[in-house]
């Protein structure tokens, strides 16, 4: 079936199987290799933003994509929002590993965007990434720091505008 | 894509009339709710075994409705678990809220729907057990004599002897009604992963009113994802005959009685599931013992 | 380096491997439906050149054409215009097999033995004075597909064959592709994809996939990509140890036997033996010691490097054993270690003698931070009883010294090398195949340009070619050359700074292990200690690791943040690999310090060994011996308490 959607800012018309998972569309049709596809093992390494909200792309079938906007780590890493997360990584001195960097970063962004500061809620959302490369306390601190940075940046922007 | 893999037809009805005409035209269609379960199967894609006609229920506005009064809350089957939490966290029974929170990340609960959680094929989620304990009613839409009918029924009536929820052929759960409860002790416990390690997982939902040393109207359901749900009035009766606190001997005897029921329903429960069920039961009884021994604040003051 | 792939994905072949279901059988027939020209099935006999992957002296087929040695072995590769078609068609292909009448024997190395002293407590006049303590430490063979997909792509551009792959050993990819396709090595260009190799998954397999993808690219003339799931395969290990202790509980004589099941194919077994022996030798002094490491094969998935190559596992076994010896005294395992370890470690053929003060300092730091002694005593009272609390706890301890890179014997025989050239254009060319870490390359560039081209780091370039031949600096893990590459490069730059003004340009210096003298098989590379707490709840029987406390001291620290991250990651992934469950309230305390000058090498190997040892020890305290046979699981724990 024909699917019209926007992926990383590009408006595309794709001819796809209606039930093809978004993770495989991104890997095979768009060529984004840092999206994993774990065939149902719930690895959490395929997170993207679908209309601004973090989702596991392996659970999103092609037919649900019509008219939707997908942002993957490929385009997100070039945004100002990414700078906040990167800065927070540096401030805390903890970085996700290469395997989960993109997914974890997208979930961090979704948490920062929603302004979630509750430790249990932060860890619950991140628990989906089944990669044991980060200490839970560091993860919470990263979200807190990134929210702080984002707030300061927004305040600066509103002062200058 | 060219090698014999054909793309399923996706029907996206926007209301129940459209749904009705589609299901009458394509009576063997599969339903697609949030897709969390279907998409997470190892052989989900590419596969030639998937039904070629799929009805995506997400477009039916009616199924997204949520309403409540002072006695009950009613959800359309396409209401997501996340929406349930955000709209009803303060009023809905604790056992249901705990169950949803136990699922974990909002990345899942934002997509998983209450209807999908009840009616998934092949695997049983922890929700039917919880809703049975809450004495929930469901509206089932089904085809009879080439017409779409609907009927409200207790969820327990859909439970067969083997602990599986059985819907009428081409039946679809369209609404779920949950009565508010004033039961003062509610417990939902789940151990192991229902999605990835079904052989080891177990969930127990329990609700009762602890009145001094007695349990009033206790209801308990045990769910084993690959086997089924154990819910029995006889088990509830056993619980209501107890006087708290239980000593070790009484606890052992209760454990033995409960496992007689569990073993007679499911023959293949694993040793780990058995140990985990015992562990959860022990926690519940310890909790109730503690509460039974604590003088309520109103009486103490 | 040439540009990376820039071609339409719609004009390419997508490949998948067909895996065997069981090992120890023979292929009798591959039954495939008639394939149209857009498909290509590659079996072992379709490979154009030598269908083998060679790891030093050991070889294995890339695609087996007759004997299936282990489950998941590649039996064929199928290329199609897209992955859907490839996967669906692969399901249609049936592989018929029959049991093997006689299993092929591989020549196994003799057990490696190492011993000193002839004191035999059993024959000694005062035999009654000594008691024997026996332990067994088991790590089960594990081979399971991880959840991670990766791809290897091959395409032809003019005279060059390009390969894009995540790889830890570029030269292995290049030489395997050359052997299989016959394509000249010089024209094979490797583009590396950034990776993290938690279990050595990108050491061997990408080379085999690259050869398959290259064969498809050459046959079809189209870019070809092959997709696989990463495998986590570590060997099975059993360490049996008997120690004679005197009346005070101090060890006097010891015998340690390690048996390693490497799976269906051997992976540099002699080197494995040497590294394992380095971990097997205990840190305390003994009148006599006898150690042996034997390698076996089985019909299981061949094991790869798993951060360590035997050292970590042997070190873990040694540390586990020390804690068991402590049980015979009235001391906690930490205090017992402190009492039996002298100020200096004994010189052996495997590790030089060195001061143990740093190691003792890290152990003390960990013991204090974790309140080790108090927790150990409290947990001992609760042994195997859930009590009123509904949970049981165990605390484990391990401390030890790490080793750097490959052994001297191996490094000298392997021919791994690097070279540095000062050209006529006054630029610097570093010849190495290990150019896949941008961060390291940047640092090297700066260091070299400071000496040879001040203020002009762009004059330093890297190439895998030296004297018209490709050069092999060895795999990215454990290489002794890589381990001390920085310092060798530094020395060569120093020499070159003088030579460039004295000799006619271009002038080159080649450096390898051959011209360097090392007193022992390994050098020590830092030390550390780890304490780890495990909690088993009655309601779920999960072996939950609640906290880790770790302290390390390394010769040098280049980047503290990266090193800390790497150590934390190693500790957590190791615990997870061996069955430990990490929950939200998990905490990790880590301190690192630099002890002076020297080269930092293989810090993860030490962390891994100590994490395994501490986990086994903690499980032993919480659940008893069977729990310590790892990987641990809820099912295993349930069995213990069910008894």
ipTM, two decimals: 0.94
d(CA A83, CA C63): 46
Task: Give the mean model confidence (pLDDT) for residues C548-560.
Answer: 90
Residue among C535, C556, C537, C557 nearest C546 (CA): C535
Predicted pLDDT at A161 = 63
* pLDDT digits 0-9 by tens, B272-295: 999 999 999 999 999 999 999 986
Mean pLDDT over all residues of chain A?
Answer: 92
d(CA C155, CA C135): 54
B46 touches chain A (CB under 8 A): yes
Between chain A and chain C, how many beta carbons pairs sit less than 8 Å apart?
69
Q: Across the interface, do A128 and B108 touch by the CB < 8 Å criterion?
A: yes
Phi then psi for residue B17, to 5 deg, are -65, -45
Burial of C38 (0-12, 13-18, 19+ CB in 10 A): middle
Task: Give the mean model confidence (pLDDT) for residues B100-124.
Answer: 87
Mutate to test the interface with A, among C11, C83, C149 (most CBs of A within 10 A): C149
Q: Across the interface, do A39 and B42 touch by the CB < 8 Å criterion?
A: yes
Residues C547 and C604 in one domain: yes
Q: Across the interface, do A124 and B195 touch by the CB < 8 Å criterion?
A: no
As given in the structure block, the two tokens for residue B198 are 């079904």
- Of the residues C479, C499, C515, which one is the last residue of a structural domain? C515
**Minimal CA separation from B270 to chain C, in Å:** 9
Pairing between β-strand A53-56 and β-strand A69-71 as defined by DSSP bridges = unpaired
3-state SS string for chain B: CCCCCCCCEEECCCCHHHHHHHHHHCCCCEEECCCHHHHCCCCCCCCCCCCCEEEEHHHCHHHHCEEECCCEEEEECCCEHHHHHHHHCCCCCHHHHHHHHHHCCHHHHCCCEHHHHHHCCCCCCCHHHHHHHCCCEEEEEEEECCEEEEEEEEHHHHECCCCCECCCCCCEEEEEEEECCCCCEEEEEEECCCCCCCCCCEEEEEEEEEECCEEEEEEEEEEECCCEEECCHHHHHHHHCCECCCCHHHHHHHHHHHHHHHHHHCCCCCHHHHHHHHHHHHHHHHHHHHHHHCCCHHHHC
Residues C96 and C217 in one domain: yes
Q: Which residue of B has its CA nearest to A106?
A: B107
Q: Which chains form contacts with chain C, at 3 or more CB pairs under 8 Å?
A: A, B
- This prediction has a pTM of 0.91
Q: Which residue has the higher pLDDT, B269 or C469?
A: B269
* pLDDT digits 0-9 by tens, C579-601: 999 999 999 999 999 987 666 77
B191 touches chain A (CB under 8 A): no
Task: Give the mean model confidence (pLDDT) for residues A110-137.
Answer: 93
Q: Across the interface, do A132 and C564 touch by the CB < 8 Å criterion?
A: no
* pLDDT digits 0-9 by tens, C174-204: 999 999 999 999 899 999 888 877 778 888 9
* Residue C33 DSSP one-character state: P
* pLDDT digits 0-9 by tens, A27-61: 999 989 889 998 777 889 999 999 988 999 999 99
Q: Across the interface, do B279 and C539 touch by the CB < 8 Å criterion?
A: yes
> Which residue has tokens 């254009």?
C425
Residues C529 and C472 in one domain: no
> In chain B, what residues touch A128 (CB-CB under 8 Å)?
104-105, 107-108
Phi then psi for residue C395, to 5 deg, are -125, 130
Q: Across the interface, do A18 and B9 touch by the CB < 8 Å criterion?
A: yes
Residues C544 and C572 in one domain: yes
Task: Give the mean model confidence (pLDDT) for residues B233-248.
Answer: 94
Residues C344 and C394 in one domain: yes
Q: Across the interface, do B2 and C85 touch by the CB < 8 Å criterion?
A: yes
Predicted pLDDT at C182 = 94
> In chain A, what residues touch C150 (CB-CB under 8 Å)?
33
**Contact predicate C20/C299, CB 8 Å:** no
C262 occurs within a structural domain: no
pLDDT exceeds 90 at position A107: yes
> In chain B, what residues touch A64 (CB-CB under 8 Å)?
35, 56, 58
Nearest by CB to residue B105, choosing from A17, A41, A127, is A127
Between chain B and chain C, how many beta carbons pairs sit less than 8 Å apart?
61
Confidence label for C451 from pLDDT (cuts 50, 70 and 90): confident
pLDDT exceeds 90 at position C236: yes
B85 touches chain A (CB under 8 A): no
Nearest by CB to residue C634, choosing from B2, B272, B283, is B272
Predicted pLDDT at B41 = 81
Confidence label for B47 from pLDDT (cuts 50, 70 and 90): confident
> In chain A, what residues touch C585 (CB-CB under 8 Å)?
136
Nearest by CB to residue C539, choosing from B5, B270, B282, is B282
Q: Which residue of B has its CA nearest to C89?
A: B3
pLDDT above 90 covers what percent of chain B?
A: 65
> In chain B, what residues touch A109 (CB-CB under 8 Å)?
none
Q: Which residue has the higher pLDDT, C407 or C255?
A: C255
> In chain C, what residues touch A33 (CB-CB under 8 Å)?
150-151, 193
Residues C506 and C438 in one domain: yes
Confidence label for C438 from pLDDT (cuts 50, 70 and 90): low
pLDDT exceeds 60 at position C3: no
**Contact predicate C299/C25, CB 8 Å:** no
Residues C442 and C531 in one domain: no
Nearest by CB to residue B2, choosing from C81, C537, C540, is C81
Q: Across the interface, do A42 and B44 touch by the CB < 8 Å criterion?
A: no
d(CA C579, CA C622): 15
As given in the structure block, the two tokens for residue C433 are 């195949």
C579 occurs within a structural domain: yes
Q: Across the interface, do B282 and C84 touch by the CB < 8 Å criterion?
A: no
**Contact predicate A37/A56, CB 8 Å:** no
Task: Give the mean model confidence (pLDDT) for residues C217-230.
Answer: 95
> In chain C, what residues touch B200 (CB-CB under 8 Å)?
634-635
Residues C511 and C528 in one domain: no
> In chain C, what residues touch B272 (CB-CB under 8 Å)?
541, 634-635, 638
Q: B223 forms bridges with which residues in the sheet?
A: B203, B229
> In chain C, what residues touch A134 (CB-CB under 8 Å)?
568-569, 572
Predicted pLDDT at C528 = 96
- Of the residues C454, C485, C515, which one is the last residue of a structural domain? C515
Q: Which residue of C has its CA nearest to B104?
A: C584
C537 occurs within a structural domain: yes
Nearest by CB to residue B40, choosing from A42, A55, A63, is A42
Q: How far is CA C339 from CA A60, C13, C241, C435, in A?
A: 60, 64, 21, 46
Q: For chain C, what is the domain count?
A: 3
pLDDT exceeds 80 at position C103: no
Q: Which residue of C has its CA nearest to B7?
A: C84
> In chain A, what residues touch C16 (CB-CB under 8 Å)?
none
**Minimal CA separation from A54 to chain B, in Å:** 6
**Minimal CA separation from C137 to chain B, in Å:** 25
C245 occurs within a structural domain: no
d(CA C165, CA C169): 10
Q: Across the interface, do A124 and B56 touch by the CB < 8 Å criterion?
A: no
**Contact predicate C525/C557, CB 8 Å:** no
pLDDT exceeds 80 at position C630: yes
Confidence label for C482 from pLDDT (cuts 50, 70 and 90): very low
Residues C339 and C385 in one domain: yes
Confidence label for C406 from pLDDT (cuts 50, 70 and 90): confident
A133 touches chain C (CB under 8 A): yes
Q: Across the interface, do B271 and C81 touch by the CB < 8 Å criterion?
A: no
A116 touches chain C (CB under 8 A): no
Torsional sign, CA C300, C305, C308, C311:
positive
- Of the residues C515, C544, C562, which one is the last residue of a structural domain? C515
As given in the structure block, the two tokens for residue B248 are 């070790």
Q: Where are the domains of chain A?
A: 2-72, 80-160
> In chain B, what residues touch A61 (CB-CB under 8 Å)?
32, 35, 39
Predicted pLDDT at C477 = 45
* pLDDT digits 0-9 by tens, C493-516: 888 888 888 888 888 888 776 656
**Contact predicate C312/C612, CB 8 Å:** yes
| Range picked from B241-245, C386-390, C425-429 for highest mean pLDDT | B241-245
Q: Across the interface, do A98 and C194 touch by the CB < 8 Å criterion?
A: yes
pLDDT exceeds 60 at position C491: yes
Confidence label for C643 from pLDDT (cuts 50, 70 and 90): low
Q: Across the interface, do A123 and C584 touch by the CB < 8 Å criterion?
A: yes
Task: Give the mean model confidence (pLDDT) for residues C276-280.
Answer: 96
d(CA B96, CA B118): 13
Mean pLDDT over all residues of chain C?
Answer: 88
Specify the CATH number for the domain of residue C21: 3.90.1170.50
pLDDT exceeds 80 at position C485: no
d(CA A160, CA A154): 10
> In chain C, what residues touch A97 (CB-CB under 8 Å)?
196, 198, 569
Residues C576 and C595 in one domain: yes
Residues C54 and C95 in one domain: yes
Q: Across the interface, do B39 and A59 touch by the CB < 8 Å criterion?
A: yes
A45 touches chain C (CB under 8 A): yes
Nearest by CB to residue B46, choosing from C87, C539, C542, is C87
Which CATH code for domain A2-72? 3.10.20.30
Residue range of the domain that includes C541: 332-405+522-642
**Contact predicate C301/C330, CB 8 Å:** no
Predicted pLDDT at C46 = 94
Between chain A and chain B, how many beta carbons pairs sit less than 8 Å apart?
86
Predicted pLDDT at C414 = 76
**Minimal CA separation from A121 to chain B, in Å:** 8
Nearest by CB to residue B45, choosing from A19, A54, A126, is A19
Q: Across the interface, do C635 and B189 touch by the CB < 8 Å criterion?
A: no
pLDDT exceeds 70 at position B245: yes
B48 touches chain C (CB under 8 A): yes
Q: Which residue has the higher pLDDT, C425 or C276?
A: C276
Predicted pLDDT at C478 = 40
Q: Which residue of B has its CA nearest to A20?
A: B45
* pLDDT digits 0-9 by tens, B219-232: 999 999 999 999 99
């Amino acid at each position: 079936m024909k699917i019209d959607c926007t992926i990383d800012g590009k408006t595309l018309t794709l001819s796809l199987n209606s039930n093809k998972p978004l993770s495989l569309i991104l890997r095979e049709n768009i060529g984004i290799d840092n999206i994993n596809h774990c065939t149902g093992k719930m690895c959490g390494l395929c997170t993207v933003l679908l209309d601004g909200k973090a989702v596991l792309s392996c659970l999103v079938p092609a037919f649900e994509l019509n008219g939707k906007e997908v942002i993957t780590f490929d385009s997100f890493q070039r945004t100002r929002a990414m700078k906040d997360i990167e800065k927070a990584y540096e401030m805390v001195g903890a970085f996700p590993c290469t395997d989960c960097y993109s997914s974890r970063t997208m979930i961090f962004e979704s948490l920062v965007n929603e302004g979630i500061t509750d430790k249990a809620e932060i860890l619950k959302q991140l628990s989906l990434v089944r990669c044991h490369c980060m200490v839970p306390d560091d993860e919470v601190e990263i979200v807190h720091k990134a929210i702080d940075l984002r707030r300061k940046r927004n305040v600066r922007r509103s002062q200058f505008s | 894509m060219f090698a014999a893999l054909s793309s399923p037809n996706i029907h996206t009805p926007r209301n129940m009339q459209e749904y009705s005409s589609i299901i009458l035209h394509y009576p063997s269609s599969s339903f697609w709710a949030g897709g969390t379960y279907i998409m997470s199967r190892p052989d989900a894609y590419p596969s030639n075994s998937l039904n070629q006609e799929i009805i995506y229920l997400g477009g039916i506005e009616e199924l997204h409705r949520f309403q409540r009064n002072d006695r009950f809350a009613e959800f359309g089957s396409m209401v997501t678990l996340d929406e349930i939490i955000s709209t009803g966290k303060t009023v809905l029974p604790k056992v249901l809220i705990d169950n949803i929170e136990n699922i974990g990340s909002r990345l899942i609960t934002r997509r998983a729907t209450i209807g999908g959680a009840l009616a998934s094929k092949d695997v049983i989620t922890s929700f039917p057990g919880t809703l049975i304990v809450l004495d929930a009613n469901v509206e089932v839409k089904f085809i009879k004599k080439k017409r779409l009918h609907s009927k409200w029924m207790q969820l327990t009536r859909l439970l067969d002897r083997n602990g599986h929820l059985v819907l009428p052929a081409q039946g679809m759960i369209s609404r779920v009604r949950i009565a508010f409860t004033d039961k003062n002790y509610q417990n939902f416990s789940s151990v192991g992963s229902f999605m990835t390690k079904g052989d080891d997982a177990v969930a127990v939902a329990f609700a009762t009113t602890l009145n001094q040393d007695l349990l009033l109207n206790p209801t308990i359901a045990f769910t084993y994802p690959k086997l089924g749900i154990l819910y029995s009035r006889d088990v509830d009766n056993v619980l209501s005959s107890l006087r708290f606190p239980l000593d070790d001997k009484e606890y052992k005897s209760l454990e033995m009685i409960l496992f007689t029921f569990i073993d007679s329903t499911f023959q293949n429960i694993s040793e780990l599931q058995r140990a985990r069920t015992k562990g959860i039961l022990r926690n519940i009884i310890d909790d109730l013992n503690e509460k039974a021994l604590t003088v309520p604040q109103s009486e103490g003051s | 380096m040439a540009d990376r792939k820039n071609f339409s994905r719609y004009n390419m072949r997508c490949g998948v491997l067909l895996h065997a279901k069981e090992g120890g059988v023979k292929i009798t027939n591959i039954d495939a439906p008639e394939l149209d020209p857009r498909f290509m099935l590659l079996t072992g006999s379709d490979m154009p050149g030598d269908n083998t992957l060679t790891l030093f002296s050991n070889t294995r087929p890339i695609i087996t054409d007759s004997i299936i040695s282990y489950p998941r072995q590649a039996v064929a590769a199928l290329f199609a215009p897209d992955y859907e078609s490839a996967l669906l068609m692969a399901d249609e292909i049936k592989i018929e097999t029959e049991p093997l009448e006689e299993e092929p024997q591989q020549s196994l190395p003799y057990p490696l033995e190492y011993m000193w002293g002839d004191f035999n407590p059993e024959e000694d006049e005062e035999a009654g004075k000594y008691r024997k303590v026996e332990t067994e430490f088991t790590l089960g063979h594990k081979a399971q597909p991880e959840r991670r997909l990766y791809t290897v792509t091959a395409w032809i551009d003019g005279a060059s064959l390009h390969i894009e792959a995540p790889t830890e050993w570029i030269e292995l990819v290049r030489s395997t592709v050359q052997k299989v396709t016959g394509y000249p090595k010089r024209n094979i260009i490797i583009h590396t994809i950034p990776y993290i190799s938690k279990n050595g998954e990108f050491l061997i397999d990408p080379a085999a996939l690259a050869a398959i993808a290259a064969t498809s690219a050459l046959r079809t003339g189209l870019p070809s990509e092959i997709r696989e799931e990463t495998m986590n395969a570590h060997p099975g290990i059993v360490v049996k140890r008997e120690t004679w202790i005197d009346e005070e509980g101090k060890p006097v004589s010891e015998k340690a036997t390690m048996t390693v099941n490497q799976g269906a194919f051997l992976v540099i077994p002699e080197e494995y033996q040497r590294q394992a022996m380095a971990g097997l030798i205990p840190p305390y002094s003994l009148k006599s010691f006898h150690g042996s490491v034997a390698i076996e094969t089985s019909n299981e998935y061949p094991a790869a490097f798993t951060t360590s190559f035997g050292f970590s596992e042997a070190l873990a076994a040694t540390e586990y054993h020390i804690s068991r010896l402590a049980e015979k005294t009235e001391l906690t395992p930490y205090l017992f270690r402190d009492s039996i370890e002298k100020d200096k470690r004994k010189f052996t053929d495997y590790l030089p003698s060195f001061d143990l003060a740093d190691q003792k300092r890290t152990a003390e730091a960990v013991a204090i931070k974790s309140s080790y002694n108090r927790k150990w005593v409290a947990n001992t009272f609760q042994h195997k009883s859930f009590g009123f609390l509904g949970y049981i706890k165990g605390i484990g301890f391990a401390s030890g010294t790490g080793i750097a890179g490959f052994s001297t014997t191996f490094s000298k025989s392997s021919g791994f090398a690097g070279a540095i050239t000062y050209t006529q254009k006054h630029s610097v060319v570093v010849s190495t195949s290990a150019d896949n870490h941008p961060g390291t390359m940047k640092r090297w560039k700066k260091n070299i340009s400071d000496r040879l081209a001040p203020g002009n780091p762009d004059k330093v370039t890297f190439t895998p070619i030296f004297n018209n031949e490709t050069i092999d600096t060895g795999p990215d893990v454990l290489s002794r050359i890589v381990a001390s590459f920085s310092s060798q490069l530094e020395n060569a730059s120093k020499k070159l700074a003088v030579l460039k003004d004295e000799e006619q340009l271009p002038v080159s210096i080649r450096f390898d292990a051959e011209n360097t003298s090392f007193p022992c098989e390994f050098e020590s590379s830092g030390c550390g200690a780890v304490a780890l707490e495990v909690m088993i709840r009655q309601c779920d029987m999960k072996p939950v690791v609640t906290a880790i406390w770790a302290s390390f001291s390394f010769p040098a620290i280049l980047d503290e943040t990266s090193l800390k991250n790497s150590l934390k990651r190693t500790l957590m992934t190791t615990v997870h690999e061996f069955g430990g469950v990490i929950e939200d309230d998990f905490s990790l305390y880590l301190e690192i310090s630099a002890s002076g000058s020297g080269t930092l090498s293989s810090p993860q190997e030490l962390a891994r060994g100590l994490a395994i040892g501490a986990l086994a020890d903690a499980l032993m305290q919480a659940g008893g011996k069977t729990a310590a046979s790892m990987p641990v699981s809820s099912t295993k724990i349930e069995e213990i308490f069910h008894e």
